[in-house]
Amino acid sequence: MDASTTSRPARRGLGPGLTAFLVVDILLVLAVLVGLAAFLSGGDRTPLGAADPGASATTPAGGDPGDESPGADPVPAGAFALPSGNIACEISDDDATCTIADSAAAPVEVEDCPGTAGQVLTVTADGASTPCVQGALPGPAAPGTPVLEYGEATTVGDFTCESATSGVTCRHDPTGAGFTLARAGHQLLEATG
């Protein structure tokens, strides 16, 4: 047999079905990698109730110091979260402050604010405001934060916050000043008295 007449099997390319399968697989792997990168880069959000390095440890509401799991950030007294964990609040004798981790509303423009506004709301005896947030944006409620179930309210001093499926409303009881905060947005409530 002569070398010129020896036939080799012809190389076959990938069929259209196998090519489509491989393209879809590659796209799925890329999507997973992008999602993982986005998840891992989400470390710039700080849960409300996460301890500041200089803050003193506090006891979870209704618990004793032994209730905290080792290595967990302590939850400040007066802290609570809505059942979704997206809105977290702290209420005290001086004010009520709530944060939202994931909001569909556009950021609020506040004069002289180099950061963002609208993800943190505060009410004091003087009225409600959207403080300027510089640095880490609020994250979900810290693990172990007590939950204020929908339809329930909590009062500390002159401040009351009420949880609802539509968000949270906090008011300074004597004046009526306050705010509502929800994924769809927020509203500052004027004093009524």
- 3-state SS assignment for residue 27: helix
Counting the structural domains of the chain, the total is: 1
Residue 70 within a domain: no
How confident is the model over 163-192, as pLDDT tens digits? 999 999 999 999 999 999 999 999 999 988
Phi, psi of 165 (to 5 degrees): -60, -20
The domain in which residue 101 lies consists of 45-55+76-189
Q: What are the structure tokens assigned to 51, written together?
A: 């301890």
CA 30 vs CA 24, 40, 96, 162: distances in Å? 10, 15, 43, 43
- Which residue, among 142, 143, 147, 138, has the nearest Cα to 80 in the 3D structure? 147
Residue 12 within a domain: no
Residue 177 within a domain: yes
Residue at 81: amino acid letter: A
Radius of gyration of the CA atoms of the chain, in A = 26
Residue 66 within a domain: no
Residue 2 within a domain: no
Residue 23 pLDDT > 70: no
User: Residue 182 region, left (φ>0) first, then alpha (ψ -120 to 50), else beta?
Assistant: beta
Specify the pLDDT at position 75. 62
* E-state strands within 57-130: 79-81, 87-91, 96-100, 120-124, 127-129
Residue 120 within a domain: yes
- Which residue, among 185, 192, 18, has the nearest Cα to 105 in the 3D structure? 185
Residue 93 within a domain: yes
Side-chain half-sphere of 188: how many Cα atoms within 13 Å?
17
Report the predicted TM-score, pTM, of the whole model to 2 decimal places. 0.62
- Residue 84 CB neighbour total at 10 angstroms: 17
- pLDDT, mean of residues 158-167: 96
